[in-house]
């Protein structure tokens, strides 16, 4: 087979895209392995090295090894991939790091599932073979499994190694994702948006080798970037679920205590617990409201998987929200008037804390009512604004 790496504007079957930043020790090895794999498996392909500002001989080595080099002046793992993939001409695209931790001789394994209908193929180091010294203990047994488990839970996928850097996908699948993140969170963004687009993802075991040279990965900084990105793309887990649980627990608790203290498991719960319950009720309602705001504001991007949210957004109207808020407000006012009546008539009740309980419950209901009223107006404002933007964007 004749190697085809400079094919002008013609379409090739496979594009191998490798981001590179000062990897002179290994970039030549990676390109050679990719060339060999393409040739051995009779794949019409190209190899693209996306240079991210290397100051060593990486570019010269990549060119001499037979790769096509594109330059991305914007720093970042994601930026390098976005440039390289945009320059690729292949129907199938395989990506992997330039540090020789991934074996590009295995790239044919990433093509066959695509030919059989998969949209994306993920490598799994955890299901494959990790050589000694290839992955730090913290990454292998804590960070990677934990972040993978969170991503699987939040976005309903089943991928054992969500941060594996070697993967493949079809050109059509990539065009549906509109990837934008510039840094390491690019790996998570690809999976999250693939899940939301309901693409078919397949996972295969691979071998992972120790790298040469200094790692670009920063454990806690990059781990936080992945976690932050997952939370921002999953407002139901950031806002809705915590807010709903806090509000429900607080409301049930404060209603149970308004008539008097409770003894549970040998402990006396009274005014101190009501104060905590008031905090949970008000804070939970506010956090839940923020979740609804994000759902309305970004509905096309985030489209909620929560049945509660779908129900609320389907049947919500400004009038219904205001009615509910006014009801809570009236209940709160009535309880506060009861406290005032007791004060004027010197009615203490069964405990010196009686009026304090009534007042705390009343104030909590009043604040909640006001939150519901103004949140309803704000949700309506967002909906109207979005409708006007959609209208203005019509051709």
* 248 burial type by CB count under 10 A (0-12 exposed, 13-18 middle, 19+ buried): middle
Which tokens in the block code for residue 34? Answer: 């990719």
What local confidence, expressed as pLDDT, does residue 300 receive?
45
Which of 213, 239, 203, 36 shows the shortest CA–CA distance to 127? 203
DSSP string, 101-113: -B-GGGGGGGTHH
- Contact partners, residue 207, CB within 8 Å, separation at least 6: 103, 106, 125, 128, 129, 130, 131
What local confidence, expressed as pLDDT, does residue 53 receive?
92
**Where does the chain have alpha helices with state H?**
27-40, 58-64, 77-87, 112-115, 137-138, 144-155, 171-175, 186-196, 219-232, 235, 241-257, 271-297, 299-302, 307-315, 318-344, 354-392
In contact, 154 and 235? CB cutoff 8 Å: no
Cα separation, 198 vs 177, whole angstroms: 11
What local confidence, expressed as pLDDT, does residue 12 receive?
85
pLDDT digits (tens, 9 = 90+) for 175-215: 999 999 998 889 999 999 999 899 999 999 999 999 876 66
What local confidence, expressed as pLDDT, does residue 2 receive?
36
**Which residue carries 């920063």 as its tokens?**
218
Sign of the four-CA dihedral 107, 112, 115, 116: negative
Beta-sheet pairing, 90-95 with 12-20: parallel
12-232: in CATH 3.40.50.2300: no
What local confidence, expressed as pLDDT, does residue 395 receive?
46
- Contact partners, residue 122, CB within 8 Å, separation at least 6: 159, 161, 162, 164, 167, 191, 201, 202, 203, 204
Which tokens in the block code for residue 154? Answer: 């939040």
Q: Which pTM was predicted?
A: 0.75
- Contact partners, residue 112, CB within 8 Å, separation at least 6: none
Round the average pLDDT of the chain to a whole number and report it.
86
Please name every residue paired with 47 in a beta bridge, in sequence order, or none if there are none.
16
**Residues of the chain below pLDDT 50:** 1-7, 300-304, 391-392, 394-395
């Amino acid at each position: 087979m004749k190697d085809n790496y400079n094919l002008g504007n013609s379409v090739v079957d496979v594009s191998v895209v490798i981001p590179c930043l000062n990897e002179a020790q290994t970039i030549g090895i990676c390109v050679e392995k990719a060339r060999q794999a393409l040739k051995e498996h009779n794949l019409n392909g190209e190899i693209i090295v996306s240079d991210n500002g290397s100051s060593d001989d990486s570019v010269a080595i990549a060119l001499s090894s037979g790769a096509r080099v594109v330059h991305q002046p914007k720093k970042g793992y994601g930026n390098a991939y976005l440039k390289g993939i945009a320059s690729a001409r292949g129907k199938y695209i395989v990506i992997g790091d330039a540090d020789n931790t991934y074996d590009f001789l295995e790239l044919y394994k990433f093509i066959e599932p695509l030919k059989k209908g998969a949209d994306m193929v993920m490598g799994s180091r955890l299901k494959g073979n990790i050589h000694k010294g290839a992955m730090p203990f913290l990454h292998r047994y804590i960070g990677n499994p934990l972040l993978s488990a969170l991503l699987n839970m939040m976005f309903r996928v089943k991928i054992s190694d969500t941060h594996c850097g070697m993967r493949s996908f079809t050109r059509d699948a990539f065009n549906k994702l509109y990837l934008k993140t510039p840094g390491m969170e690019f790996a998570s963004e690809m999976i999250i948006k693939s899940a939301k687009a309901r693409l078919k993802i397949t996972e295969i075991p691979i071998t992972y080798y120790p790298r040469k040279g200094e790692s670009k990965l920063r454990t806690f900084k990059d781990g936080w970037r992945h976690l932050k990105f997952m939370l921002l793309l999953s407002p139901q887990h950031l806002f809705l679920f915590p807010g709903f649980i806090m509000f429900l627990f607080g409301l049930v608790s404060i209603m149970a205590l308004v008539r008097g203290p409770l003894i549970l498991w040998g402990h006396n719960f009274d005014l101190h617990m009501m104060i905590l319950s008031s905090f949970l009720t008000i804070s939970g309602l506010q956090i839940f409201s923020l979740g609804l705001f994000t759902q309305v504001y970004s509905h096309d991007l985030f489209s909620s998987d929560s049945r509660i949210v779908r129900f609320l957004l389907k049947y919500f109207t400004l009038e219904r929200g205001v009615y509910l808020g006014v009801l809570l407000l009236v209940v709160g006012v009535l309880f506060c008037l009861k406290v005032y009546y007791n004060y004027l008539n010197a009615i203490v009740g069964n405990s010196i804390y009686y009026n304090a309980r009534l007042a705390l419950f009343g104030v909590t209901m009043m604040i909640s009512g006001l939150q519901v009223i103004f949140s309803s107006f704000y949700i309506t404002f967002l909906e109207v604004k979005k409708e006007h933007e959609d209208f203005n964007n019509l051709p």
